[in-house]
Amino acid sequence: MEQQKRYGHFDDQHREYVITDPQTPWPWINYLGNEDFFSLISNTAGGYSFYKDAKFRRITRYRYNNVPMDNGGRYFYIKDGDTVWNPGWKPCKTPLDFYECRHGMSYTRVTGRKNGVEASVLFFVPLKKWAEVQKLTLTNQSNEVKNLKLFSFEEWCLWNAATDMENFQRNFSTGEVEIEGSTIYHKTEYRERRNHYAFYHVNTPIQGFDTDRETFVGLYNEFADPQVVIEGKPRNSHAHGWSPIASHYIEVTLQPGESKDFVFLLGYIENEQDKKFSAPQVINKDKAHALIAELDTTQKVDQAFAELCQYWDALLNIYNVRTGNDKLDRMVNIWNQYQCMVTFNFSRSASFFESGIGRGMGFRDSNQDLVGFVHQIPSRARQRIIDIASTQFPDGGCYHQYQPLTKRGNNDIGGGFNDDPCWLIFGTVAYIKETGDFSILDEMVPFDNQPGSEVTLFEHLKISMDHVINNLGPHMLPLIGRADWNDCLNLNCFSWDPNESFQTTENVSEGTKAESLMIAGLFVVTGKDYVALCQKLGKTQEAERMQKAIDAMIEAVKKHGWDGEWYLRAYDFYGNKIGSNECEEAKIFIESQGWCTMAEIGAQEGMVAKSLDSCKKYLECEHGMVLNNPAFTKYIYEYGEISSYPEGYKENAGIFCHNNPWVIIGECLAGRGNDAWSHYAKILPSYVEEKYQTLHKVEPYVNCQMVAGKDAFKPGEGKNSWLTGTAAWMWYTVSEFILGIKPDYDGIRIDPCLPQTATDYTVQRKFRDAEYEITIHPNGAQKGVKAITLDGQPVDGTVIPYSAGKHVVEVTM
Ligand code: BGC
Ligand code: NOJ
């Protein structure tokens, strides 16, 4: 294979990805913040910050899909004589003598060197603080005294990221700032209904500032050559309307070998209604002063950083594997878990592919994200489940999305995605198995956030199951509604109007007959979980009632959902088969193969094995399994968005990494460890890191939603990195099904499914108040646990019974 250019490498010891060339094939980003205050940061320090909600509380401005790419961010301009440069290379793009970006666990460190000066910036959001710290260290590595001019830069967003980009007739007149010492305050709309403001501070006296963009940059200049920086002189501009910014000016003298730290702080404050102002028109800055005081020295900031690192140490010590295979270990122990936290926090809202404006938290997405995250911070998972369930309707249907700030269902998109309810069971069961906390089922949870409508969470689970049963079609299979997991299979949409949304349009609302085999499989899988839960709770009648429904569904799939070599995908509105050998294109789809094999429907009749073989035969390619095959080559009015994509992209035969794990779990349940592993390794970032440095384009340390499939113009090219259900599914697959450590109500079930080549490995697993050290001896077996000992004593079956304390477990396969 041709030697590819490399842009970076893993540093496992520090849990970092080290980028050594700023001109990555696409901005390679990281996320800062863990709870309320968040930032996106690229390898050149581009990106933006927001509080809780990337749409409604955007703090700094960002321009998407820009020319040049990734413009806007937190920039430090260093003027050394006539040379102006940035530590992260952009925006000036002055060639650097050294460049490095280290993306770590919720922090990023960008270092640049030019003409004997090193500038290193550590970016992070301290735990529990509503602020981004930017600790800049300037070091004179030369033999002469350096007199530097330092300009900081942030551009304020006028809060609502959507209107900020469109309502200029208003926006250009509303911008307001205040300046006090070394702090620049952004207070647009504070005079009316906003009780929040932002500030940008530096912990040293400044020699000047600018707050008006046009003054700082110059109308005909760019971020690459702001006029104030070029002139080397701030203008102390005070923004009134137009575009407020924040720029500090600091003169720095460094002796040879001398180093100086500057702590910049981008903060967000909320005030009580009656304490908004300290004088007419003057914002009450008490809370800002207090926040600044907590982070105004290098020592305090270093302490906060150490706490952040300890926090991540603790999180990543809950599940830790040692296989001796670095590529696997680093994904399992570091990056996959990290990506799970990020998807849990952001759902699908804000990335370099999601604007943060279009989408809030997805009902199905957030439930799936739970399985990747619940072991990390169960209390947050618990709250999330309640928040999600509170957006459900009394008939079990649900809002497809909600806004994190208000936690209200999103009316623009509404409901009608008939897979949504089942995911609530999926998420809740994962939570209870991890924690043993059955009390969550007794929580009183409203419908559509309406006070007075509360029923128990258990009741929500029940109506979720019932929603499927109450919405069966002519083949007794689940009606698909607007769409199931595949948002683009819009079988009741029928649109010739490009101004209509595929997701929300139903042009034929009467007698919608389209049915989904994906939901059928999902119903059986989550139904089995529901039945087991009922049995656990002593609700025998309910368990029996649901078991009957599951049995009926299994029969319906066997009778109407099998195509001979694989499971059908759906029946369209007219009752025609989708995903059948009879079809001209898209004869086979991955989703129903995944879910029906996970549900083990027709295993005895050989259906599961045949379906899995068909996935290998028709869907698999060099880069993973495609969603459907062959790709659609034309738009099909009856199918909707799926056929709108060119061949090989997105839902039209792209490799949707999200659903590859479904088939992999199907393989694991069937005991086919070699096949499971080979599918898994194809989409495991560290396995394809080298090959993909340029072809793949997007970050080599996380999964992306889609890799272009075999029918695409450029197979193997990745898109939509970070915010994808792939994170949780990859985690669930490797931790529970491949490595085989599966939380259960009464303990941990051990049932690995491995490639024959696997050697002994050890998993360190914290579980409730216990800590297990589990060593597995595969002995060449792909599946099948022969013997388990717990602290030296033999255990019956495959579940290690839970008890607090430290335990040693040996497993022989
Ligand atoms: C995309 C889907 C996505 C949906 C969300 C579609 O355009 O292809 O992946 O889930 O939009 O609305
Ligand atoms: C992305 C969405 O976030 C997810 O909910 C959906 O299932 C997939 N796209 C497939 O369409």
448 CA from centroid of ligand 1 (Å): 24
What pLDDT digit, counting tens, does each position of 237-289 carry?
Answer: 999 999 999 999 999 999 999 999 999 999 999 999 999 999 999 999 999 99
Which ligand is located closest to the Cα atom of residue 627? Answer: 2
Report the distance separating Cα 475 and Cα 514, nearest Å: 10
CA of 608 to the centre of ligand 2 (A): 25
Q: Tell me the β-bridge partners of 620.
A: 625
User: Sheet containing 107-114: which strands, arranged edge to edge?
Assistant: 8-11, 16-19, 98-104, 107-114, 117-124, 131-140, 259-270, 196-202, 183-186, 177-180
Note whether 55 and 161 are within 8 A (CB).
yes
Distance CA 84, CA 77 (A): 6
Instruction: Say if strands 624-625 and 131-140 run parallel, antiparallel, or are unpaired.
Output: unpaired
Cα gap 247→227, rounded to integer Å? 13
- Closest C-alpha to 246, from 230, 232, 228, 231: 228
Provide residues with CB under 6 Å of ligand 1.
487-488, 503, 641, 650-651
Question: 3-state class of 206 per DSSP?
Answer: coil
Contact 391, 402 (CB under 8 A): yes
According to DSSP, the β-strands at 282-283 and 196-202 are unpaired
In whole angstroms, give the CA distance from residue 362 to residue 349.
9
Q: Which atom of ligand 1 is nearest to the CA of 503?
A: 12
Q: What angle do CA 152, 154, 155 make, to 5 degrees?
A: 145
Sign, CA torsion 356/220/68/184: negative
Q: Which of 766, 767, 754 is CA-nearest to residue 811?
A: 754
With contact defined as beta carbons under 8 Å apart, do 461 and 424 qualify? Answer: yes
pLDDT at residue 509 in the model: 63
Q: Is the peptide bond before 715 cis (omega within 30 degrees of 0)?
A: no
For residue 503, the ligand closest to its alpha carbon is 1
pLDDT tens, position by position, 538-577 = 999 999 999 999 999 999 999 999 999 999 999 999 999 9
∠ at Cα 103 (86, 57), nearest 5°? 80
pLDDT (tens digit, 9 = 90+) per residue, 575-588? 999 999 999 999 99
Q: What's the confidence (pLDDT) of residue 3? A: 58
Mean pLDDT across 615-627: 98
Which numbered atom of ligand 2 lies nearest the CA of 365?
5
Helix (H) or strand (E) holding 729: helix 726-732
CA 773 to chain centre: 29
Between 407 and 789, the higher pLDDT residue: 789
Whose CA is closest to atom 5 on ligand 1? 487
**Cα distance between residue 737 and residue 731, in whole Å:** 9
Sequence-distant (6+) residues with CB within 8 A of 177 are 156, 184, 185, 186, 187, 211, 238, 239, 244, 246
Mutational pocket test of ligand 2: of 658, 704, 724, the residue with most ligand atoms within 8 Å of the beta carbon? 658
Share of the chain above pLDDT 70, in %: 99
Nearest ligand to the C-alpha atom of residue 729: 2
At residue 1, the pLDDT reads 45
Q: How high is the pLDDT of residue 510? A: 63
**Which single residue is written with the structure tokens 């990745």?**
718
Cβ within 8 Å of residue 354, ≥6 positions away: 348, 720, 723
Which residue among 487, 572, 675, 751 is the active-site one?
487
Residue nearest to atom 10 of ligand 1 (CA): 487
How far, in Å, is the centroid of ligand 1 from the Cα of 488?
6
Task: Measure the CA–CA gap between 64 and 47, rounded to whole angstroms.
Answer: 10
Q: What is residue 689's predicted lDDT score, i.e. its pLDDT?
A: 87
Instruction: Flag whether pLDDT at 507 surpasses 90.
Output: no
Q: How far is CA 130 from CA 292, 334, 600, 735, in A?
A: 11, 25, 47, 33
User: What is the per-residue pLDDT across 719-766, written as a single tens digit (0 to 9) for each?
Assistant: 999 999 999 999 999 999 999 999 999 999 999 999 999 999 999 999
730-743 b/e (C-beta count within 10 Å ≥ 16 → b): bbbbbbbbbbbbbb
| Other residues' Cβ atoms within 10 Å of the Cβ of residue 585 | 16
| 487 part of the active site | yes
- pLDDT tens, position by position, 279-312: 999 999 999 999 999 999 999 999 999 999 999 9
Pocket lining for ligand 2, CB < 6 angstroms: 348, 362, 364-365, 485-488, 651
Assign 508 a pLDDT band (cuts: 50, 70, 90).
Answer: confident
Which atom of ligand 2 has the smallest separation from the CA of 656? 10
pTM (predicted TM-score): 0.97
pLDDT value at residue 690? 82
- Find the helix or strand (DSSP H, E) in which 556 lies: helix 540-560
Q: Which of 367, 418, 484, 485 to mutate to test the pocket of ligand 2 (most atoms within 8 A of CB)?
A: 485
Q: Which residues of 524-544 are buried (b: 16+ CB within 10 A; e: fewer)?
A: bbbbbbbbebbeeeebeebbe
Atom of ligand 2 minimally distant from the CA of 485: 7
Rounded to the nearest angstrom, the distance between the alpha carbon of 487 and the centre of ligand 1 is 6
What is the DSSP secondary-structure string of 757-778? T---EEEEEEETTEEEEEEEE-
Which ligand is located closest to the Cα atom of residue 485? 2
Atom number, ligand 1, closest to the C-alpha of residue 651 = 8
Q: How does residue 511 score in pLDDT terms, banded at 50, 70 and 90?
A: low
Shortest-distance ligand to the CA of residue 658: 2
**Nearest Cα to 403, choosing from 731, 162, 718?**
162
DSSP state of 211: E
Ligand 1 centroid to Cα of residue 503, in Å, is 8
- Does position 5 have pLDDT exceeding 80, yes or no? yes
Probe residue for ligand 2, chosen from 487, 628, 649 as the CB with the greatest number of ligand atoms within 8 Å: 487
- Residue linked to tokens 């702590």: 263
**What pLDDT score does 358 carry?**
85
Mean pLDDT of 81-110: 98
C-alpha 641 – ligand 1 centre gap (Å): 9
Q: Give the mutation target among 355, 368, 482, 503 for probing the ligand 1 site: most ligand atoms within 8 A of CB.
A: 503
Query: How many angstroms does the Cα of residue 297 sit away from the middle of ligand 2?
Result: 44
Q: How far is the CA of 656 from the centre of ligand 2 (A)?
A: 9
Q: Which atom of ligand 2 is nearest to the CA of 486?
A: 11
Average pLDDT in the 132-142 region? Answer: 99
